[in-house]
Structure 1
Amino acid sequence: MAVRGWTIAVAALLTGFAAQAQETASKPRLLFVMAHPDDEVFVAPAIARATRKGQPVTVVFATSGDQGPGVTDMERSAALAELREGEARCSMAALGGPEARFLRLGDGTLGVAAHHPESSAQKFAEALGPILAEGDFEMVFTWGPDGGYGHADHRMVSALTTQLVQAMGDDRPALLFPGIRAGTLPPVPEMQTWAVTDPALLDIPIEYGPDDLAAAARAVGCHESQFDAATRAGMMPLFDQSIWQGAVHFRFGLPEHIRAVETHAEPGPLPRP
């Protein structure tokens, strides 16, 4: 897809832009690349909004979370992975039915000997490459380099997804990272190790409505093996009031996208970077 195409597609995701962008843009196909079932809750309102608008969405889970442990008493095993895949499918249904793909790599292994030919990292790249090569994703969303709170699987998913996208040609999709704006981190002890980002960098706000937030809350409710009942009930209201405040915030992951999108309020031919 040409630069102008994905620029208009991004503009169509945002509120407050010209009606021309809404009318001109086709419904872009979106790809979310996550490390584990439940990672999607960090951007759940954006997924819910996209599916509500009729945009095709695919969510890839690199691992099935077989190491848990979350709040379940289950042993770390294939059975736990199967349970967590079921929770992810429940979450996808709550978010409007995006397609879910499970790569079933070992939980906690993506950062282990990543350069070795038989490593989980190499297997992840080998599996994600053909998905990207399908050729019709206009935007790819994944963890930023911080991995949220530094989880090695999150960081590797970010790095490897970026590596594959940056190697693509002019028709590569836009790459976007979510982030927590500095100053919005809620006063929850468990979240004090989460990374924050200068708000000036998070200049792609994808706004959501009450229905999207309700869908996100239902999605979190699916992850019973990961969060206790109080956390499941309180997470989305907490994120809504602190981190998001009406929009999930993203930034572009590749420099040429930043330069090209500077004129996205006026869709039209853009200079090549």
Structure 2
Amino acid sequence: MHAHPDDETLTSGALLATWAAAGLPVTVVTCTRGERGEVIALPGTTSEGLGHLEGDGPKLATHREGELAAALAALGGGDAAAVAHVYLDRVAVPGLAAPGGDVLFEDSGMAWVAPGIAGPDPAATSGFARVPLDDAAARLAVVVRERRPAVVATYEPGGGYGHPDHVRAHEVTVRALELAADPAARVAGRPLPGEPWTAALWQAVAPEAHVRAARRALAADEAARSLAARAGLTFADPDEALPPVARPAAALGDVVAVETAPVLGRVLAALRAHATQVQHAQAAGSDALRTAGVLGWYALSNGVLAPLRARETYTVGPAPRRSVGSAR
């Protein structure tokens, strides 16, 4: 369950590719089309000359839909059917606004408030972060009941790096799993369609020490420093405050680690497919980087070269039984 096109690869690319490579059923649910995203128009990539899309929500949405389709095919090893996909606002639920030609859930926008940490866009007054909780959660619950997954993966409560749509996606996922498992669940006064189903909740996290070590190793790598100098990129400070995704080892609890190396080619291809959002995605050639748990790097619109870490980490547990609050 992800907020925008590109989040599925940046957050869960190794997990999705690993399951697809094993022949397991995989479905990505995307909440919005990233209409308010910044655009990297980098010469020599498929984003070259696309700077005009920034600020044109409908056209950027259409373009990012195409990038997402290409990324999912890459994660599936070139098989477009290996990773299924659903836009959350295309899911029909009796009593809720019906899917149609209009986009129901839009990107809420964001602003960089610190290196690698986002906050709300003060200019945005609508978007997915403001959608009533059960409007979105009921749609995801229907998908869960239809697909009957063992696991639903999403962000931790802080949304990974603070983006308001990521935070809302976490809230929606928690509520959706409650609804999906409840035989008496009702939405808009009507029974929730489908048979009850319980799935485990996986939340993407990262050991704080690993994040700091990866940042430190990347900033010291000769090839990475050369690229940064040529492309005008910077490095994140390994000693600064980290985004919510990073946690002390003692606070992680039960976790599962997914190794990136076996599916590195798929993940890099998917990152490159999101060319308006991701730049300079490439594998690392240094033994020192690999020893530090870094298999490559990439940069987002903030111009910070980030490590592509050797494993993804998820907290593992049953779907929470508590309420996450009233719809807003």
TM-score (norm 1): 0.70
Matching residue of 2:92: none
Following superposition of structure 1 onto structure 2, how do residues 74-93 of structure 1 map, counting pairs within 5 Å? 74-76=53-55, 77-93=57-73
| Structure 1 residues 217 and 180: CA distance shift in structure 2, 3 A | same
Determine whether 1:45 maps to 2:14. Answer: yes
Q: Which has the higher contact order (CA 8 A, sep 6+)?
A: 1
CA contact (8 A) 1:46 1:206 kept: no
User: Unaligned stretches of 5+ in structure 1?
Assistant: 1-32, 116-120, 258-273
Residues 106 and 242 of structure 1, relative CA distance in 2, 3 Å threshold: closer
Q: How many Å separate the matches in 2 of 1:145 and 1:256?
A: 12
C-alpha deviations, 1:6-55, integer Å up to 9, x for none? xxxxxxxxxxxxxxxxxxxxxxxxxxx00000001222111111001110
One-letter code of the match for 1:220?
Answer: L
1:216–1:236 contact (8 Å) kept in structure 2: no
Is 1:251 equivalent to 2:315 in the alignment? yes
1:58 to 12, 18, 27: 27
* Conserved 8 A contact 1:166-1:254: no
Aligned partners of 2:2 and 2:169 also within 8 Å:
yes
Distance verdict in 2 for CA 1:124–1:141, change over 3 Å: same
Query: Residue in 1 aligned with 2:158?
Result: 146
* Bigger fraction of residues in helix: 1
> Structure 2: how far apart are the matches of 1:59 and 1:190?
32
1:178 partner amino acid = A
Q: Which residue of 2 aligns with 1:107?
A: 107
CA spacing shift, 1:255–1:43, aligned 2, 3 Å: closer
In the TM superposition, 1:72-221 aligns within 5 A as: 72=41, 73=51, 74-76=53-55, 77-96=57-76, 97-103=82-88, 104=103, 105-108=105-108, 109-112=127-130, 114-115=131-132, 121-134=133-146, 136-167=148-179, 168-169=181-182, 171-185=197-211, 186-187=214-215, 188-189=235-236, 193-195=242-244, 196-200=246-250, 201=252, 203-208=254-259, 210-221=261-272
Measured after TM superposition, the shift of residue 202 of structure 1 is: 5.4
Query: Is 2:282 the counterpart of 1:233?
Result: yes
**Distance of aligned partners of 1:67 and 1:253 in 2 relative to their CA distance in 1, 3 Å threshold:** farther
How far apart are the structure 1 equivalents of 2:31 and 2:59? 17
Unmatched runs of 5 consecutive residues or more in structure 2: 42-50, 77-81, 89-102, 109-126, 183-195, 216-234, 284-293, 299-305, 322-328
Q: Root-mean-square deviation (CA), in Å? A: 2.8
The alpha-carbon distance between structure 1 residues 225 and 256, as it changes in their structure 2 partners (threshold 3 A), is closer
Q: Counterpart of 2:3 in structure 1: which amino acid? A: A
C-alpha contact 1:87 1:222 (8 A) present in aligned 2:
yes
Q: Is the 8 A contact 2:148 2:197 kept in 1?
A: no
**Whose Rg is larger?**
2
Q: Per-residue deviation at 1:75?
A: 3.2
Q: Tell me the SS of whatever aligns to 1:132.
A: helix
Aligned residues: 215
Q: Look up the SS of the partner of 1:237 in the other structure.
A: strand
With the length of structure 2 as denominator, give the TM-score of the two structures. 0.59
Cα distance in structure 2, aligned partners of 1:205 and 1:179: 10
Aligned twin of 1:69: 38
